[in-house]
């Protein structure tokens, strides 16, 4: 499934996907993309009536290296690799949405900071720089900076 198909699936109504998911068996070995493919196929095949109540998302950790997610009674168990795949898919979808992230840090925002992350850099012919940082939760996170932004970032980091 290409990114356009995935975005189309994500843009489908949550109610339709939940109702379609009830007919799909889910095993602990299911990956986020295989579940998403099955949901997309089922949602295309039938147009169920609108659910009376909106389903809720429940996330739990039954084991240290396992995440269990339940939406509308349908559960999926994810390994660390499955969680990474889900984060990447959601991140790609979120980046393409019209509503941008807030410009400032939201009040009450919870985060895990990675101290002294592993990083890699690359220079482009136009002078831009790619900086990729390895976050313990998000994985490899790439940022591209113009030459002016590199100078501004250097000034911010060396300011006393």
Q: What pLDDT digit, counting tens, does each position of 82-130 carry? A: 999 999 999 999 999 999 888 899 899 898 999 999 999 999 999 999 9
pLDDT at 66: 96
More confident residue, 71 or 38: 71
Q: What is the mean pLDDT of residues 36-50?
A: 53
pTM, to two decimals: 0.58
Q: Which of 33-47, 55-69, 96-110, 131-145 has the lowest mean pLDDT?
A: 33-47
Question: Is residue 47's pLDDT more than 60?
Answer: no
**What are phi and psi for residue 140, nearest 5 degrees?**
-75, 125
What's the chain's average pLDDT? 79
Question: 8 pLDDT band (50/70/90 cuts)?
Answer: very low
Structural domain spans, the chain:
3-95, 119-158
**Extended strands (E) in the chain:** 57-63, 66-71, 74-78, 119-123, 129-135, 139-145
Give me the helices (H) in 27-144, please.
32-45, 80-95
């Amino acid at each position: 499934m290409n990114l356009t198909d995935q975005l189309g699936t994500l843009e489908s109504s949550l109610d339709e996907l939940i109702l379609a998911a009830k007919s799909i068996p889910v095993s602990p070995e299911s990956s986020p993309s295989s579940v998403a493919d099955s949901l997309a196929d089922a949602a295309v095949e039938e147009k169920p009536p609108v659910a009376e109540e909106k389903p809720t998302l429940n996330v739990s950790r039954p084991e240290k290296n396992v995440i269990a997610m339940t939406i509308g009674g349908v559960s999926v168990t994810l390994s660390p690799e499955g969680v990474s795949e889900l984060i990447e898919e959601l991140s790609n979808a979120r980046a393409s949405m019209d509503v941008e992230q807030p410009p400032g840090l939201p009040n009450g925002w919870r985060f895990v900071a990675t101290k002294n992350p592993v990083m890699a850099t690359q220079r482009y012919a136009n002078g831009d720089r790619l900086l990729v940082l390895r976050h313990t939760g998000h994985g490899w996170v790439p940022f591209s900076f113009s030459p002016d932004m590199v100078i501004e970032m250097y000034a911010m980091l060396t300011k006393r």
